[in-house]
Amino acid sequence: MRVPERTAAVLAWARRNLFSSPLNALLTLLGLWLLWLVVPPLLQWLWLQADFVGSSREDCRGDGACWVFVRVHLDQFLYGFYPPAERWRVNLGIALLLVPALPLLIPPLRRFRRVWLLALLAYPPVAWWLFHGGLGLSVVDTGLWGGLFLTLVIAATGMAAALPLGLLLALGRRSRLPVVRATATVFIEFWRGVPLITVLFMASVMLPLFLPSGLSLDKLLRALIGVALFAGAYMAEVIRGGLQGVPAGQYEAAQALGLSYWQQMRLVIVPQALRMVVPGIVNVFIALFKETSLVLIIGLFDLLGVVQAAVTNPDWLGFVLEGYVFAAAVFWAFCYGMSRISRRLERRPDMKAQEQQEMA
Amino acid sequence: MTEQTTAVRFEHVDKWFGQLHVLQDINLEVARGERIVICGPSGSGKSTLIRCCNGLEPYQRGRIVVNGIELTENRRTVEQVRRQVGMVFQQFNLFPHLTVLENCTLAPIWVRKMPRAEAEELAMEYLRRVRIPDKAHSYPGQLSGGQQQRVAIARALCMQPRIMLFDEPTSALDPEMISEVLDAMVELAESGMTMLCVTHEMGFAREVADRIVFMDGGRIVEQSPTAQFFAAPQTERARQFLGQILAR
């Protein structure tokens, strides 16, 4: 008789793990009670009593969430005020990001290093051309960019700039040359000491005062520069931690082989340092991704900004919860995705080599 | 000895770590093809001495000439010397993020600008010589200590150095792995390589060394031909040291 056996096994497991002592039993019951309090109403609201179809607020009849609100505004949430006829450019631009990412996903492609590097370097100008226009494409002013698209642009630019900038700053801070060291230190401490909000305010309000009249920098561009420098300073400290974690013997072995300073860094030290601080780097990336929503205060509408604008739309008052839950879900999905990628990177065999050697 | 036959020459070299006078008036001349074992109690400055030979440690007074090139603060000359001098460390110091083969080809490709295929061929040849060609595509973390140290020897040899430095190459090894590393070193010595070894392996010293340099307190206390050093050490300090180390 199979079934009773299995039941018995489940009971035994529960007894061992959930009811091993009176206190454990009490905690288990308390936990179950809390779940019973929270989960059913949540499900009711999110799904069972929610409305999914329709095109106006009249279709919101149930007691649960009205996802019609999100559905109606979805394009706006994704693209902001980007002209609908040009949105294919955004889609294409984001899809193109897969090209430089291919070698990361398919390891055998890593051999074609030059092609990959070229794709990586070519991506930003190509993306800028697609998104902004010019040269045959109609120009879409950056003021119209918004929603998840803008969030991705700011976050991706910040990340792409933070890594090399942080690396240079970290190396600078460990340099033997006093001037280089002092410059890097002052830069890092300045940007780390200032809140991002202040950086964005300065970028949008103060910077134009210092620029010669007639020369005006795009508002988005100013924000991007601010975010990049800010993230770069944080990244520098994370990477410096990694550089300090590389054993002195590695520096000596690299020197003894006759490698020059930059060869030592590029081939031996930095690859190890970066591998060591993958979790820290991803942490900065995740923080940066979420902090992009601060650009709202200088009048740029990222995902959260667009959602906020939609919930105050007089035709759709009363759907605050739906809007924020949606925004939170999107942010969470991206951040969780990054943390998964980080975990996968850490598990790669050449990434783990260091630990094994220490154990040996 | 003339410049043509001298591999390494120390002339009145002094070095301080802060207040500590770690090398005191070092005079040493090593001929091409000569095999020197440097021994002495810990803290006697023997590792520091050997690390001065390829500029890993700066020195404050005197002159060090390696293969006719005077080691100065100048980065160019230091790099030039390092291209001709291989070094093997106590802790192996293999690059953990690279495979064994990549460890061996790194410097030939980047420093000597050798084509990758040629560098790999060369690396395989040296890996065969240290009897570890089957591990070429493993990562250092997957090898035993003895295997790692043999790879480290192959890596240094891939730069085809004129001189090899060994800084206590067997001190971090489990006893059963010492002989595989020593065998590789003996073989290297038989090929005529100029070698400077800091080691406590007196059996190896006796078998291979032409000359023993005995250090204590930052000074070279005694340097004599191997047989003579073991049979009749001239200084009381060396006699004591030998008594201790051979009694083990």
Chain B residues within 8 A of A352 when measuring between CB atoms: 141
Chain A, nearest residue to B75 by Cα: A260
Asked, for residue A20, whether it belongs to a domain, the answer is no
Distance, in Å, from the CA atom of A264 to the CA atom of A301, rounded to the nearest integer, reads: 44
Asked, for residue A14, whether it belongs to a domain, the answer is no
Task: Report the phi/psi class of residue B217: left, alpha or beta, with left for phi > 0 and alpha for psi in -120 to 50.
Answer: left
Please give the pLDDT value at position B143. 95
Higher-confidence position of B225 and A108: B225
Please give the pLDDT value at position A97. 86
Interface of B with A in 185-214 (CB under 8 A): none
Distance, in Å, from the CA atom of A201 to the CA atom of A298, rounded to the nearest integer, reads: 7
Q: What is the CATH classification number for the domain harbouring A200?
A: 1.10.3720.10
Chain A / chain B CB contacts < 8 angstroms: 86
pLDDT above 50: residue A355: no
Chain A residues within 8 A of B82 when measuring between CB atoms: 255-258
Interchain proximity B139–A356, CB inside 8 Å? yes
Please give the pLDDT value at position A359. 42
Nearest by CB to residue B82, choosing from A258, A351, A357, is A258
pLDDT-derived band at A360, boundaries 50, 70, 90: very low
| CB of B139 less than 8 A from some CB of A | yes
Chain B residues within 8 A of A267 when measuring between CB atoms: 106, 110
Q: What percent of chain A has pLDDT over 90?
A: 56
Up-side HSE of residue A314: CA atoms within 13 Å toward CB? Answer: 0
> Hey, what amino acid is at A99?
V
Please give the pLDDT value at position A103. 76
Chain A residues within 8 A of B106 when measuring between CB atoms: 257, 259, 267-268
ipTM: 0.93
Please give the pLDDT value at position A352. 54
Please give the pLDDT value at position B218. 94
Bridging pattern class, strands B61-66 and B85-88: unpaired
Interchain proximity A275–B106, CB inside 8 Å? no
Query: For the residues B62-72, what does the mean pLDDT come to?
Result: 93
Q: Tell me the longest C-alpha to C-alpha distance in chain A.
A: 88
Average pLDDT, chain B: 93
Nearest by CB to residue B95, choosing from A250, A352, A356, is A250
Please give the pLDDT value at position B50. 96
| CB of B77 less than 8 A from some CB of A | no
pLDDT-derived band at B2, boundaries 50, 70, 90: low
Domain with A237 in it: 68-82+140-359
Higher-confidence position of B7 and A359: B7
Chain B: give the shortest CA distance to residue A344, in Å.
16
Which of A298-307, A318-327, B21-30 is modeled with the greatest confidence?
A: B21-30
Please give the pLDDT value at position A2. 57
Please give the pLDDT value at position A62. 80
3-state class (DSSP) for residue B161: coil
Please give the pLDDT value at position A3. 62
Tally the domains of chain A: 1
* Residue A307 and residue A294 in contact, taking contact as beta carbons nearer than 8 Å: no
pLDDT-derived band at B245, boundaries 50, 70, 90: confident
Higher-confidence position of A359 and B193: B193
pLDDT above 50: residue A357: no
Please give the pLDDT value at position A358. 45
pLDDT-derived band at A356, boundaries 50, 70, 90: very low
Interchain proximity A350–B143, CB inside 8 Å? no
Asked, for residue A107, whether it belongs to a domain, the answer is no
Interchain proximity B107–A257, CB inside 8 Å? yes
Chain B: give the shortest CA distance to residue A352, in Å.
8
Chain B residues within 8 A of A271 when measuring between CB atoms: 97
* Residue A349 and residue B140 in contact, taking contact as beta carbons nearer than 8 Å: no
pLDDT above 80: residue A212: no
Angle at A233 between CA A339 and CA A300, to 5 degrees: 75
Cα–Cα distances in Å, from A317 out to A62, A67, A314, A352? 16, 14, 5, 53
Chain B, nearest residue to A247 by Cα: B93
- The whole model's pTM is what? 0.86
Asked, for residue A112, whether it belongs to a domain, the answer is no
